[in-house]
Amino acid sequence: MAGTRIGVIGCAGRMGRMLIADIVASEGCELAGGAAKPGSAAVGRDLGELTGVGRVGIAATADARQVLRDSDVAIDFTTPDATASHAALAAELGRPVVIGTTGLSGEQEAAIRRAAERVPVVWAANTSLGINLLLGLVEQVAARLGPEWDIEIMEMHHKAKVDAPSGTALALGRTAAAARGAVFDEVAQRGRDGITGPRKAGAIGFAALRGGDNVGEHDVIVAGLGESLELTHRATNRAIYAKGAVRAARWLVTRPPGLYGMKEVLGL
């Protein structure tokens, strides 16, 4: 029986290569194709050789439309502008898509929501099991501990990461705000510098660190008077994100149109 045909959009990046390797190694999956940005040195190269898993007989292309056509479901880890465009293409072609791109603007997020009206979409800032369990814990803690408990979110990533705070940190903050019935944009404090005055009650603070080859660390600190609680997740291998995204793709292919998250994929 043929497996789920999965296409990778953004196949030349770190995550794209790991996705290809995981798809090739996973029972019940078939690699349908891979798209890189036009002009990339990866275009024309065998996807298996690009990834280091051996020749698979499928060359990387610059044509995302063709990859979507050839796939049962596609996974997109690219850039915000590209992702918004690919979401529209997926909707036009009737193809489910898993989106792991972070740093999207409000307009780009709206493009994803529009696509989800026509096709099933999993949109997740982080596809690891551990982070999604952490999101559930943060929801419980924020709901039980009121605004007199201060929430601070600290994250660290490799020096090449271009957006800050990370999409995962923002997802943790949004989860905490929602659990307290607060509007995230009204309570989020993205950075502090100089004479800032006392901390605002109910604020959710963020700190972003960058350096080396750090795969990803996230700490949620809930500080009260006389005690504090810290919830931490540390990633040591990007393969966890690839495995989660492939799992999401296989889950998504039979779903009706709509916007889903890893919470639904993992049954949390």
Catalytic, out of 37, 158, 161, 263? 161
161 catalytic residue (yes or no): yes
- Catalytic residue (one of 157, 218, 233, 243): 157
Question: For this structure, is 157 an active site residue?
Answer: yes
d(CA 122, CA 110): 14
Catalytic residues: 157, 161
